[in-house]
Structure formats: structure tokens, C-alpha cells
Chain A
Amino acid sequence: NAGVMQNPRHLVRRRGQEARLRCSPMKGHSHVYWYRQLPEEGLKFMVYLQKENIIDESGMPKERFSAEFPKEGPSILRIQQVVRGDSAAYFCASSPQYSNQPQHFGDGTRLSIL
């Protein structure tokens, strides 16, 4: 998984707090995707971003979740007022273009809500 860097690897939050997950894509990649993996399930698409643009957020919960990919710096997935059900592994992937190039994944952030 060299290249796509996610931090932190583990994040613990209490209910009601905010969680911020960061993702730096592979060098040369300008497309970022966020996925969520619930226990015993596969990955579910959340959002697709390019620099300064949200292309598709159809997989994002309508409330409390937001994502950005600024001109400078990593992509951020932000979860406000976390609840127990937000506990999951959140994976970021990147690609140089969205067509048929495989997405490369980071090691994920495992979010635990107390």
C-alpha cells in the first residue's frame, strides 16, 4: 500500500465529538475516493473528489458527513457529532484518472466510538 497515506490509523472518539480523517493520495494521482467498511461487510463507496471539487457524494450520509480535497494538502473526511454507528474502517483510494485505472488503497483509519 505504499503511496496512499492515511492518518491516523486508529481514532477513538466519544459520542458527539468530531472525527477528522486524512488522506494523501499517491504521487501523481489527482482523484480521491473514500469508502467505508462496516464489520463483516465489503467496502461501500462514499465520495469521489478531485482537487477542490466534489464529483460524486452519492454514498455519503446526508447529515454530519463532509469531505474536501483542497488545492494544497490532504483530503479530509469529517464526521460531526459521531454516533456509535459510525464505528468502521474508512479507506481512501486514489487514481491518476477514473477511467479504467485501478484504484490504490491506503491502510485505512479505524474509527471507534465510545
Chain B
Amino acid sequence: AQSVTQLDSQVPVFEEAPVELRCNYSSSVSVYLFWYVQYPNQGLQLLLKYLSGSTLVESINGFEAEFNKSQTSFHLRKPSVHISDTAEYFCAVSSGTYKYIFGTGTRLKVLA
């Protein structure tokens, strides 16, 4: 069975500081990996995805994540955060089927 672990439930960080949100998964088959962001009272927006190819994937707003097969990780990073990045971030895994397995989420709070 697949599972996703997001160890940090909350991450406070000062504006313009770097941040890393951790995601580890377990799966016996090849996986697709996703990061979604959820702003208050909204749905999930796809931030970035790893399907195949380059293990480093980037989003349009400065986030990046690296697929590390040996460590079964897909950590999300940003070198300099903004207040507007305050949101909840969900990591998800899929084995190529429709069932996404989501982590419990990490609340990123950017402090002025």
C-alpha cells in the first residue's frame, strides 16, 4: 500500500528566508508525485508534479521539488518566501491510477 508522510504540521518562517517542506512516501511501484497548495477556504491548486524525466521540477512562482528515489522523498523548497506563500501544502502520490494518496498537510506561515 502507498502512503505519504509530511512530518511537519506547521512551519513558521520569516519573509525572504528559505523554506523546505518535507514529504516522504512509501510505494512498491513507480510513482507520480504532486505538491498542491490550499489557500484558506479554497480548493487545492496544483503547484508542481513529477511524472518522469528530470528529478528536479519547478513551479512558476519559485518553488521547486526534487524526486529522490533512494530516499523516497519529494521535498518542496523555496529560496525566499513571501507573505503570500502562507498556505497549507499537500504532498500526494499516485501509482498512475486515479487514486491520489495525500499527506496530512503542512501549514506554512510566513512572518513579516
**A residues whose Cβ falls under 8 Å from a Cβ of B:** 1, 4, 6, 9, 31, 33, 35, 40-45, 48, 55-56, 91, 93, 95, 98-100, 102-108, 110
- The yes or no answer to B42 lying at the interface (CB within 8 A) is yes
B residues lining the A interface (CB < 8 Å): 4, 32, 34, 36, 41-46, 49, 51, 90, 94, 96-105
In angstroms, Cα B83 to Cα A47, docked, is 36
Contact of B46 with A106 in the complex, beta carbons under 8 Å: no
Q: Is there an interface contact between A100 and B96, defined as CB atoms closer than 8 Å? A: yes
| Contact residues in A for B100 (Cβ distance below 8 Å) | 43, 45, 103
Known: A100-B32, A100-B51, A102-B34. A43 touches B44 (CB 8 A): yes
> Would A48 and B43 be within 8 Å (CB), given that A41-B104, A42-B90, A102-B34 are in contact?
no
Cα–Cα, bound, A56→B100 (Å): 13
Cross-chain contact B102 with A107 (CB below 8 angstroms): no
B54 to chain A, nearest CB (A): 15
Given contacts A1-B45, A40-B104, 10 further A-B contacts (CB under 8 A): A9-B41, A41-B104, A42-B104, A43-B100, A45-B100, A56-B99, A95-B98, A100-B96, A102-B49, A105-B45
Q: Which residues from B are CB-within-8-Å of A6?
A: 43
Tell me, in angstroms, the Cα distance from A44 to B99 when the chains sit together.
Answer: 9
CA distance A9 to B41 in the complex (A): 9
User: Are A91 and B43 in contact, with the CB atoms below 8 A?
Assistant: yes
Q: Chain B's nearest CB lies how many Å from the CB of A110?
A: 8
Give chain A residues whose Cβ lies under 8 Å from the Cβ of B49. Answer: 102
Residue of A9, A40, A95, A103 most packed against chain B (CB within 10 A)? A103
Q: Are A107's CB and B42's CB within 8 A?
A: yes
- In the bound assembly, the distance between CA atoms of A45 and B45 in angstroms comes to 17
The 9 listed contacts between A and B (C-beta, < 8 Å) are A1-B43, A9-B41, A31-B98, A42-B104, A43-B102, A100-B32, A100-B94, A102-B46, A110-B41
Q: Are A98 and B97 in contact (CB under 8 A)?
A: yes
- Complex Cα gap A45–B4 (Å): 14
